[in-house]
Amino acid sequence: MTSILTNNGAMVALQTLQSINNNLTDTQNQISTGKEIASAKDNSAIWAISKVMESDVAGFNAIEDGLALGESTVQVAMAGAEQITEILKDIKERVVAATGENVDHTKIGAEITQLTAQVNQIIGASQFNGANLLSDDVDGNGATDITVLSSLDRSGTTVTASNITVASVDFVTNLDLSDIDVSDSAQADTSLALIEAHIETAINGAAALGAGSARISDQKEFVGKLSDSLKSGIGAMVDTDMEAASARLKALQTQQQLGVQALSIANSAPQTLQQLFR
């Protein structure tokens, strides 16, 4: 039945066209923003998961910065410890020379005094951002180590922090060169064993700092990879598949054209009734 009051065909065509236009708008938004799920209304569950993961990524970015700071602090101290080791070797050479009888012990002692002062200067200068792992007071407030935030461990909704602790090697206390005495051959003989012990202390300290630096460096590399993986996962959930969206856009544009034509045909149907009244 054809009615001039109710055009069922036009209503169906209009509803179809409105649906096509809505889908076309959604697809255009996805292409322009690059996100298939840009807000909670698009997919509340996926959106919520992505936001939690984005907060974790932000946390890991901050952790990377902290690890870089900690790594630099340890590396500065390690460089100082390695340099001190080399200077102690020079002191050992002079102690060995002082064990002889026909040498100028006063001049050798003066050289050792200068080298000892250099060691103390290196200990004092081996700080980064106010933290010195060669000192007995790392931060000026009595600390004996540095703690670096290394990870955020998530279990469900519970997040716990993990840390890497690098202890001071305390060369101020453990590397007191005041016991080196080369005033005569006998004292030089005694100092030979002492300087060997000091060299061992310096080597062990540098090795400990090297191990701490390597651990922080490895953790920083891992956190960087983890952050990249999380970003990829978030992208897989919420980013627009541009190839699929482009194909869908073309299809919807074609459907829109056909929908307009269908609505036009449906709207013209009542006009045919005029032929019946002629």
β-bridge mates for residue 160, sequence order:
153
Assigned CATH for 50-239 = 1.20.1330.10
The C-alpha angle 105, 110, 113, rounded to 5 degrees, equals 125
**Cα–Cα distance measured from residue 264 to residue 10, given in angstroms and rounded to the nearest whole number:** 8
Q: So what's the pLDDT on residue 278? A: 64
**Cα–Cα distance measured from residue 13 to residue 271, given in angstroms and rounded to the nearest whole number:** 17
Q: So what's the pLDDT on residue 261? A: 87
**Cα–Cα distance measured from residue 36 to residue 42, given in angstroms and rounded to the nearest whole number:** 8
For residue 139 the two structure tokens come to 């931060």
The C-alpha angle 113, 117, 121, rounded to 5 degrees, equals 170
pLDDT tens string, the chain, 278 residues long: the values are 667 667 788 888 889 889 888 888 888 888 888 888 888 888 899 999 999 999 999 999 999 999 999 999 999 999 999 999 999 999 999 999 999 888 899 999 999 999 999 999 999 999 999 999 999 999 989 999 999 999 988 888 888 999 999 999 999 999 999 999 998 999 999 999 999 999 999 999 999 999 999 999 999 999 999 999 999 999 988 888 888 888 988 998 898 898 888 888 877 777 776 676 66
Count of alpha carbons within 13 Å of 18, Cβ hemisphere only? Answer: 6
Q: So what's the pLDDT on residue 94? A: 94
Position 89, amino acid: K
Contact present, 7 and 266 (Cβ < 8 Å): yes
Burial class (CB in 10 A: 0-12, 13-18, 19+), 65: exposed
For residue 257 the two structure tokens come to 């054209």
Q: pTM to 2 decimals?
A: 0.78
Position 196, amino acid: E
- Entry field: residues in the chain: 278
Q: So what's the pLDDT on residue 1? A: 64
Q: So what's the pLDDT on residue 252? A: 86
Task: Give the start-to-end residue ranges of the domains of the chain.
Answer: 1-34+246-278, 50-239
Terminal-to-terminal C-alpha distance of the chain: 19
Contact present, 42 and 36 (Cβ < 8 Å): yes
